Structure 1
């Protein structure tokens, strides 16, 4: 099956990460006979400055014809790019793994958590208004449909992992909205997996106290945004954290970290999160096409990254090394088989 990927290199460190990643993608294509094409388009702060739109019409036209989106980090226009794309194409499941890598300093070893975040509702709908001077109101939108849909996604992942799902909410305070989310998830999950519920403040504390307690966490949009960043840092660094935005018709893959303007152009950014996002994209291609070559390519990339981290000789400054973006990328490239 053929896949067309719309690539949004993004802002800050995004373009240099993508530039170094091209050779890795090309090698995977050659070794595993991957039938995919990459089409670069503009989006983000740079596009806003150039065209007056963070997501230009030409970019949307390319994305609409593509099967997947591979996106680098964007700057201040993230709401106009990331959130808009998620809602435009109903990419309802945000999948954020937090997994340890060798030789990355952290409080815990062998962290392996998967956060399944509802991606289209909650306060991030952006329904905000000012009813009177000095007062601002935001609407929190939760539906039974979206809650059940994300619970089913969590169920499918849990069955491939350790068969445990923790539903995180704050239904003791937000009894209507979070109460609906909690009850919908419970109806889908209870009896099918090791299921439990946990308030979001307790979940935040327990992630720090004992991350090994968790397997799959399913939660709402805002809580998932916060907890996934916390979990990634517990695993070692935001620089190693990938993510996927999954929809039935289109999916988008992106690193969790931001544009990091302070180090842009210095050639020291860590490409790991972006490369692991590529691996997640290849896994998604395998699921859609039922062709194992995409899954094998994904595994090869993950294993190559892990080998480089295990060696520990070509790591970037954010994780205690002194290597450049080019050096770690070349090392990963050399280990792909």
Structure 2
């Protein structure tokens, strides 16, 4: 039976709001259902991995039992994906990496299996794995974004910039501001040589602003470059101006292609004052500044910030840097895994994660 044609008469008063509310509730229910299914699947994979570990340990079963198990499970459940030998090996490694069932249920179980494979293949340290898992859940990172953040050591760099936030900003704003800055900033995506100048870097950052926002982290919104400030009839230009949605304040970023010098903070402080007086509204918090330089002496930077009354941070940027050796593991990478699983054994949730 076909649906009746929709009446063209206007809907009753309040219908639009009710429809929007229903759509929101349905969408939320769909998301919850997906999370439940994913959590059950990850828990199942962990339980299978635990069984393999226990039986191999207690009964001395060799690696060949996994190959036989893969064949038998695929025969018994032809409609289910993910029972290849390679994936069973990852279930075993997953269970070995997370012996605590509570962590699986409450933390990594909230992530798709593909995310967990990235964590497993990229990170050796359990605390690092858990920290990246929690950040991925909190920020809704896709698998590719998670992979990028691990490769660029996002969490290891976060909160490490030299700042005076602890004495110039109230808590908890000071803590959030400190965590929002990192050191160094990885700008590998610019495709520039190590000797690039300030304007060249600035132009490239604007051209690749999406990648730069990803590197800056959650909460940053791009406002403009070479932002004009008219002070007493004289014109001044801010290199880059951002707004931080969580801190609810403007963030002035100044670029210096050389080594940090204390006098750089005088110019940055002038810009902060101008933005506070001319740009920010009464609802915005105090503007903060970030000086990005090619290199710095940490002690000199700390001394230079000591007498500054405005909230500022100093961090280095790196244009070219290879992947740290400690990120290499004995496990195959996620790309290698995908190649091995390509074909009939590819599990659908991996592709959708």
TM-score > 0.5, shorter chain as reference: no
TM-score normalised to structure 2 length: 0.25
Question: Of the two, which has the highest radius of gyration?
Answer: 2
TM-score normalised to structure 1 length: 0.26
User: Taking CA–CA contacts closer than 8 Å with sequence separation of 6 or more, which of the two structures ends up with the larger relative contact order?
Assistant: 1
